[in-house]
């Protein structure tokens, strides 16, 4: 049995996950809270096999909560489930001790795969963030979720929209208040995801397909 403690400040999402696993014989949500501070208390009380936590939450964020949980209970696995796809957020969660990173828009079936993988001691990455970190985890047992269709992150959609207007990476970086290198990384990831050959094809894709944002 995989016992799970969950922290998420949107109660509707908690209710949806609990409902999905309500009749599952192998997975049990034994507690759910809305902030990191209460998550630490819940984990100390019930000591689940796995923790699922958002990053941005009131009173204590998921990064700090993960650090505390892993320092007290190093055997407990942590899976981050969030909307943040920025490399900085992913790195902070992994450095805190999480061994799984999942985007909320990936769906419940992807969540199930992540739960099983992380609880078995494997490292699981959402397919839309995995390739930013593969070099750091090349020697580990890494599982990358698979998706049937191309799913661009919210940030990638923003950048693609700006590419369609003819802006350079530097101009996009200025508009979004991020580093140019971050924009370049997103460009490379989109080229890979969309199975394109180069940046010119990415520009053509953005314009010709009239991407719906």
Q: Compute CA 98 distance to the chain's CA centroid, rounded to the nearest angstrom.
A: 11
Which pLDDT score, from 0 to 100, does residue 145 have?
57
> Per-residue pLDDT tens for 32-74?
999 999 999 999 999 999 999 999 999 999 999 999 999 999 9
Which pLDDT score, from 0 to 100, does residue 137 have?
47
Q: Compute CA 2 distance to the chain's CA centroid, rounded to the nearest angstrom.
A: 20
pTM of the model: 0.64
Alpha-carbon span 176 to 162, nearest angstrom? 10
Alpha-carbon span 153 to 148, nearest angstrom? 15
Q: What are phi and psi of 124, to 5 degrees?
A: -120, 130
> Per-residue pLDDT tens for 94-120?
999 999 999 888 778 889 889 999 999
Which of 68-72, 74-78, 85-89, 92-96 shows the lowest mean pLDDT across its residues? 85-89
Does residue 128 carry a pLDDT above 80? no
Q: Compute CA 61 distance to the chain's CA centroid, rounded to the nearest angstrom.
A: 15
- Going along the chain from its start, the domains and CATH numbers come out as 2-144 (3.40.50.2300), 154-208 (1.10.10.10)
> Percentage helix, strand, coil, to 5, in the chain?
50, 15, 35
The pLDDT confidence band at residue 139, using thresholds 50, 70 and 90, is very low
Does residue 174 carry a pLDDT above 90? yes
The pLDDT confidence band at residue 150, using thresholds 50, 70 and 90, is low
């Amino acid at each position: 049995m995989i016992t799970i403690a969950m922290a998420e400040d949107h109660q509707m999402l908690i209710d949806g996950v609990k409902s999905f696993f309500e009749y599952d014989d192998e997975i049990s949500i034994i507690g759910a809270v809305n902030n990191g501070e209460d998550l630490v208390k819940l984990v100390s009380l019930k000591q689940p096999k796995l923790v699922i936590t958002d990053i941005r939450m009131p009173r204590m964020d998921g990064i700090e909560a993960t650090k505390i949980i892993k320092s007290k209970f190093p055997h407990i696995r942590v899976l981050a489930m969030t909307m943040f796809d920025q490399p900085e957020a992913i790195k902070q969660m992994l450095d805190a001790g999480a061994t799984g990173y999942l985007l909320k828009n990936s769906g419940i079936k992807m969540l199930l795969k992540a739960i099983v993988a992380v609880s078995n001691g494997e490292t699981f990455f959402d397919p839309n963030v995995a390739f930013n970190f593969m070099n750091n985890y090349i020697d580990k047992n890494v599982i990358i979720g698979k998706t049937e269709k191309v799913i661009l992150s919210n940030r990638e959609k923003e950048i693609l929209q700006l590419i369609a207007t003819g802006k350079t990476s530097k101009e996009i970086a200025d508009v979004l208040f991020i580093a140019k290198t971050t924009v370049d990384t997103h460009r490379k990831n989109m080229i890979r995801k969309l199975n394109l050959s180069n940046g010119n094809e990415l520009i053509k894709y953005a314009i010709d397909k009239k991407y719906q944002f």
